[in-house]
Amino acid sequence: MGISSTALPQQRLFIVGPMAAGKSAVGKRMAARLQIPFFDTDDVIEQRTGVEIDYIFEREGEAGFRRRECAVIAELTDQQPVVLSTGGGAILSADNRRLLSERGLVVYLATGVRTQLARTRHSHHRPLLQQGDREDTLTKLATARNPLYESVADVTLPTDGCTVDAVVGQLLAYLKQCQGAGESTPTDPTISGESSS
């Protein structure tokens, strides 16, 4: 579509949203299209510690994991250019929200609980879903976190019923619109979940 990383504010694209929203898949595809580096905060933490996220939760608790997550976000949001996908709970930290908002374009991949349930039904590596009723847990997380995602988002992309390619296509179209408008943000920050070209 003729879009380069220069269409991004400060050449940084940050992806937020709940678990199973498709943040990593969309982030990887966007980075490939823009030809810039991609990082996933959970992957970086696992690479640096040599253990999986659920083990960190088990040994250090959620608070310990969040401290590691904050350090990684502070570092990677300062990289340029970059596409960065964050963990679902990253926006719980006020410092993370500030850095994401100040340093780049924040895309919120909005996903309903029903979709999350379908996408995580075979998953055994999500610490917050290991105990109790999954639907209840996801509903509570959505109630607490969705307003925080919305508070940092420059653009919201509903992903229910959408393929990765459809979401990426809509985001590329949005960036092209921004580029055509001299990098100002279009007036409607929510992009329809309908496939468009």
Mean pLDDT by runs of 10 across the 197 residues of the chain is 54 94 95 95 96 92 95 96 96 97 95 88 65 84 96 94 94 85 52 42
β-partners of residue 158 are: 110
**Residue 197 within any structural domain of the chain:** no
**Residue 73 within any structural domain of the chain:** yes
Q: How many domains does the chain have?
A: 1
**Residue 190 within any structural domain of the chain:** no
Q: Dump pLDDT digits (tens) for 100-133.
A: 999 999 999 999 999 988 888 766 666 656 677 8
**Residue 32 within any structural domain of the chain:** yes
Which of 83, 85, 106, 13 lies closest to 42 in space, CA to CA? 85
How far, in Å, CA of 145 to CA of 106, rounded?
A: 15
How far, in Å, CA of 119 to CA of 132, rounded?
A: 18
Provide the token pair at 10: 């400060």
What is the average pLDDT value for the chain, to the nearest integer? 86
**Residue 79 within any structural domain of the chain:** yes
- Range of 73's domain? 5-122+136-180
Residue 188 pLDDT: 46
**Residue 188 within any structural domain of the chain:** no
User: In this structure, which amino acid lies at residue 52?
Assistant: E
Maximum pairwise Cα distance, the chain:
49
Q: What is the CATH number of the domain that holds 145?
A: 3.40.50.300
**Residue 131 within any structural domain of the chain:** no
**Residue 82 within any structural domain of the chain:** yes
Name the one residue in this structure whose structure tokens are 């904050």.
70
Q: What pTM was computed for the model?
A: 0.85
